[in-house]
């Protein structure tokens, strides 16, 4: 999955410090990132970009490190520079190396958060960065804002040797997926699993087992993957607003998608490859 970057280590302790010449700069414009023109992901360094903006240091916010390499967000830096190009953040799904793809999309989530919390939502004054934790605060009214992370579930609904697979309605993603949805306020994550399965396909589930989680910065989400057994009737009642189709697949008939960065795909492969039915 995209966050599995071993032997590299992602360090997100918030310890702001001044950038060094070799620090990587993450520069975004909307959902585009500035990269060196190259087949692989290559971020500009502070030393390279300093030449184009003498006030660059003040525009930089420390984000995180991977191993000993520090990453900074450079805000309001929109120049077109020879040898660099703007690329849509979706490319972090496929370009290598993976530890830089993970850093790039994680930085993009933080960029969107900083951009959309410049002013206090309560009193409208300017927010300032806290120096002890990754938090924005309003010095006038005391409002505090933390990075936006929305919990969501992915559910592999199983019935013995069968797995329920679905396709989204009205989305570009055309491959088979599993039932998924965001947690609502006031419910446990297990209740989210039951509600989403009922809403999307009209089925009851039991024996809900946690599988793995995944930070999914493309949509500011923390994905929580579960398997759950069908409880009772297997007749699907489709929510056509959400899904184009949903159907049961015998384990051996499950369509294969290449291994990729998503938890959904890992869960589908895990079920298909598992000889033991009782996962």
By the criterion CB under 5 A, which residues form the site for Zn ion? Answer: 120, 122-123, 138, 140-141, 143
CB of 145 to Zn ion, least distance (A): 10
Contact 205, 229 (CB under 8 A): yes
For residue 106 the two structure tokens come to: 């994680």
Angular region, 172: left φ>0, alpha ψ -120 to 50, beta rest = alpha
Residue number with CB closer to Zn ion (141 or 149): 141
Say if residue 97 is preceded by a cis peptide, omega within 30 of 0: yes
Q: How many CA atoms, within 13 angstroms, populate the side-chain half-sphere of residue 10?
A: 18
Distance from C-alpha of 191 to C-alpha of 59, rounded to nearest angstrom: 43
CB of 144 to Zn ion, least distance (A): 10
Cα 66 to its chain centre, rounded Å, is 17
Alpha-carbon dihedral 181, 182, 186, 189, rounded to 10 degrees = 70
Residue number with CB closer to Zn ion (78 or 119): 119
CB of 58 to Zn ion, least distance (A): 23
Residue number with CB closer to Zn ion (117 or 251): 117
Residue number with CB closer to Zn ion (142 or 160): 142
Residue number with CB closer to Zn ion (26 or 127): 127
CB of 16 to Zn ion, least distance (A): 22
CB of 117 to Zn ion, least distance (A): 11
Residue number with CB closer to Zn ion (59 or 117): 117
CB of 118 to Zn ion, least distance (A): 12
For residue 253 the two structure tokens come to: 């008939």
Judged by DSSP in three states, 149 sits in: coil
Distance from C-alpha of 130 to C-alpha of 110, rounded to nearest angstrom: 15
Residue number with CB closer to Zn ion (18 or 128): 128
End-to-end CA distance of the chain: 20
CB of 119 to Zn ion, least distance (A): 8
Q: How many CA atoms, within 13 angstroms, populate the side-chain half-sphere of residue 221?
A: 17
Query: Which residues are within 8 A (CB) of 257 and not within 5 positions of it... i.e. 6 or more apart?
Result: 175, 176, 265, 268
């Amino acid at each position: 999955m995209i966050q599995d970057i071993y032997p590299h280590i992602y360090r997100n302790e918030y310890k702001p410090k001044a950038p060094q010449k070799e620090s990587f700069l993450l520069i975004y414009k909307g959902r585009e990132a500035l990269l060196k023109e190259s087949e692989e992901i290559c971020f500009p360094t502070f030393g390279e970009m300093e030449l184009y903006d003498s006030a660059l240091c003040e525009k930089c916010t420390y984000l995180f490190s991977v191993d000993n390499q520090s990453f900074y967000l450079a805000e309001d830096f929109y120049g077109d520079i020879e040898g660099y190009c703007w690329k849509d953040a979706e490319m972090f799904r496929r370009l290598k190396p993976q530890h830089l793809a993970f850093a790039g999309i994680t930085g993009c989530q933080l960029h969107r958060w900083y951009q959309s919390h410049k002013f206090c939502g309560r009193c409208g004054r300017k927010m300032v960065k806290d120096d002890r934790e990754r938090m924005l605060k309003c010095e006038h009214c005391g409002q505090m804002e933390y990075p936006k992370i929305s919990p969501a579930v992915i559910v592999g609904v199983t019935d013995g040797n069968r797995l329920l697979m679905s396709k989204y309605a009205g989305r570009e993603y055309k491959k088979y997926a599993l039932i998924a949805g965001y947690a609502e306020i006031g419910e446990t994550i297990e209740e989210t699993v039951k509600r989403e399965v009922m809403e999307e396909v009209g089925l009851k589930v039991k024996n809900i087992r946690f599988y793995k989680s995944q930070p999914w910065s493309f949509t500011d989400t923390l994905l929580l993957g579960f398997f759950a057994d069908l409880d009772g009737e297997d007749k699907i009642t489709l929510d056509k607003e959400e899904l184009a189709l949903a159907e049961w697949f015998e384990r051996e008939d499950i369509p294969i998608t290449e291994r990729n960065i998503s938890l959904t795909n890992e869960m589908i492969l895990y079920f298909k490859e598992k000889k033991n039915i009782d996962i």
